[in-house]
Amino acid sequence: MRRAIDTLFGRLVVIVIGMLVLSHVAWFAIIRFERDNVQTRFAVEEAVFLVEAVRQHIANTPDQPLPPRVRVVGLESPDVPRQPDEDIPPPLQRFLEDLKDRLPDGTEVRLNEPGGPPSVWVHGAKDTGWIVVPVQPLRPPRSRDRMLVWLALIFSTAVLAALFGAWQLQNPLRGLAQAVQRFGRGQPTPPVPERGPRELRQLTHGFNQMVREVSQTENDRAVMLAGVAHDLKTPLARLRLRAEMMDDEKMRDGVVRDVDSMAHIVDQFLVFAHDRPDGSEPVPVDEQCERIVRAYRAVSPGAQPVRLNLEAGPSFVLPAATLDRLLSNLLDNAHAYGAPPVVIETRRDAKGWVLSVADHGKGIAPDDLIKASRPFVRLDPARGGSGHSGLGLAIVERLARRVGGECEIGNRAEGGLRVAMTFPFEVATQPLAERRAGPQHEERAL
């Protein structure tokens, strides 16, 4: 099961959002702390200014009335608040300490009793009474902190911009990853657009260059192999004709068998070298398997029995020519090296449609399974005769990958070899026009 966190985009999103959350929380805490400090400093300066203004007023114009909420109270007045205790809140404690630092030494500072308008009582060494001045509340009540609204707006904008940037960064990588996957499956791989950061452009350029060189090498090998195989067809036909005219029946049969084996090898060369998209009509796999098995039994009456276990239904379709070549190679391989019965099975699973062919022989040694699909590799020296070139399973794997499938070769627990081909749902139902379009259509899709 794919998880979003496993993708580059998902991890970039988690990292970016995590960093944004951390930075916004830190900035919010710093701003709140600095705002409290500024508010305290402002209240201290305001109180100091008012106290000095009252002192100047008393000294210069004692007959003039004082401003509202500013007054002078006698030292023995019962309204004088008590000495502040040590359990006052930290903001008020910091305010009192800062205010004492700004006033002359020996100045006594008290806060009014709770419940009244916020004010501060100041008595200096030369004052004849308590000077009472108003102060601003250190934390005025607010129904909603507008800073949180602004932070939420900035955070949302930053997240959207970060998501867009992460998508812009991972989009070229996703295209490159899809191209690498296609190239690994042996499917036609059009050039990947070179975009993104410089390192990514260099990586894409190197991949495109590698694909071109590998494709050119494959094309040269295919042309050479197809040319040799095609040129051998004519002398083989002449050799067979001459063998038919031989008088010695035993020698004639032996030569004819050798010519047929060589012709089979040539046909395998041509199939292996064929590298164009299959443009044949898609057919239901279950129905075509039944027809191929009936034809196989009719042509080879002495061949191993073949059992059918077809459960895919009519929705599973593949190009007719590809399906014929897949089954013919697998049946020939099972007939040559396996043991009866041969079982052809189709079904649907979570990954796609599955087509498998299994026999009940000895199978392949576990150490040789990885080499089973390599071209021109014979796992057993005895397999070199009877027209076998080591291309059977290589052709099967190449044909399966060419139509977008995956081929898995393994041994059955009960004994025997099993070749299972899995075709994704969108590939097994691909329209004929898209199959015939080949690489051009795929390049436009990318």
54-110: pLDDT as tens digits: 888 888 888 888 888 888 888 888 888 887 666 777 777 788 888 888 888 888 888
Confidence band of 292 (pLDDT split at 50, 70, 90): confident
Select from 91, 118, 134 the last residue of a domain.
Answer: 134
Sheet with strand 306-310: strands edge to edge: 306-310, 342-348, 353-358, 417-423, 406-411
Task: List pLDDT tens digits, range 329-360.
Answer: 888 888 888 888 899 999 998 889 999 999 98
Confidence band of 374 (pLDDT split at 50, 70, 90): low
* pLDDT computed for residue 112 by the predictor: 80
Select from 106, 134, 162 the last residue of a domain.
Answer: 134
* pLDDT computed for residue 441 by the predictor: 42
176 is a domain residue: no
Q: Residue 386: left if φ>0, alpha if ψ -120 to 50, beta else—which one?
A: left
In this predicted structure, the answer to whether residue 113 has a pLDDT above a threshold of 70 is: yes
* pLDDT computed for residue 134 by the predictor: 87
First to last CA, the chain: 25
pLDDT greater at residue 263 or residue 216: 216
% of the chain residues with pLDDT over 90: 7
* pLDDT computed for residue 382 by the predictor: 42
204 is a domain residue: no
Q: Where are the beta strands (DSSP E) in 39-83?
A: 71-74
CA distance 330 to 333: 5
Q: List Cα–Cα distances, 214 to 141, 374, 377, in angstroms.
A: 73, 17, 21
105 is a domain residue: yes
309 is a domain residue: yes
The pTM for the full model equals 0.47
Identity (one letter) of the amino acid at 355?
L
CA distance 111 to 130: 12
Indicate the average pLDDT of the chain: 77
Q: How many domains does the chain have?
A: 2
Q: What is the mean pLDDT of residues 364-389?
A: 59
In this predicted structure, the answer to whether residue 288 has a pLDDT above a threshold of 80 is: yes
63 φ, ψ to 5°? -80, -15
Task: List pLDDT tens digits, range 418-430.
Answer: 999 999 887 665 5
Dihedral angle computed from the Cα positions of residues 242, 248, 250 and 253, in that order, rounded to the nearest 10 degrees: 20
Q: Residue 147: left if φ>0, alpha if ψ -120 to 50, beta else—which one?
A: alpha
In this predicted structure, the answer to whether residue 379 has a pLDDT above a threshold of 80 is: no
Give the DSSP per-residue string, 245-275. T-S-HHHHHHHHHHHHHHHHHHHHHHHHH--
37 is a domain residue: yes
* pLDDT computed for residue 143 by the predictor: 45
Q: What is the mean pLDDT of residues 21-42?
A: 78
CATH number of 333's domain = 3.30.565.10
Highest-confidence segment of 17-21, 201-205, 435-439: 201-205
CA distance 306 to 297: 8
211 is a domain residue: no
Torsion sign across C-alpha atoms 262, 264, 270, 272: negative
220 is a domain residue: no
158 is a domain residue: no
CA 430 to the chain's CA centroid:
24
Burial class (CB in 10 A: 0-12, 13-18, 19+), 148: exposed
Task: List pLDDT tens digits, range 221-269.
Answer: 666 666 666 667 777 777 777 777 777 777 777 777 777 767 766 666 6
419 φ, ψ to 5°? -110, 115
Residue 403 contacts residue 423 (beta carbons within 8 Å): yes
Select from 87, 114, 134 the last residue of a domain.
Answer: 134
In this predicted structure, the answer to whether residue 199 has a pLDDT above a threshold of 80 is: yes
Q: Tokens 């299959």 identify what position?
A: 278
* pLDDT computed for residue 287 by the predictor: 92
Where in the sequence is the domain holding 108, given as residue range(s)?
4-134
Give the pair of three-digit tokens for residue 279.
Answer: 């443009």
Residue 373 contacts residue 406 (beta carbons within 8 Å): no
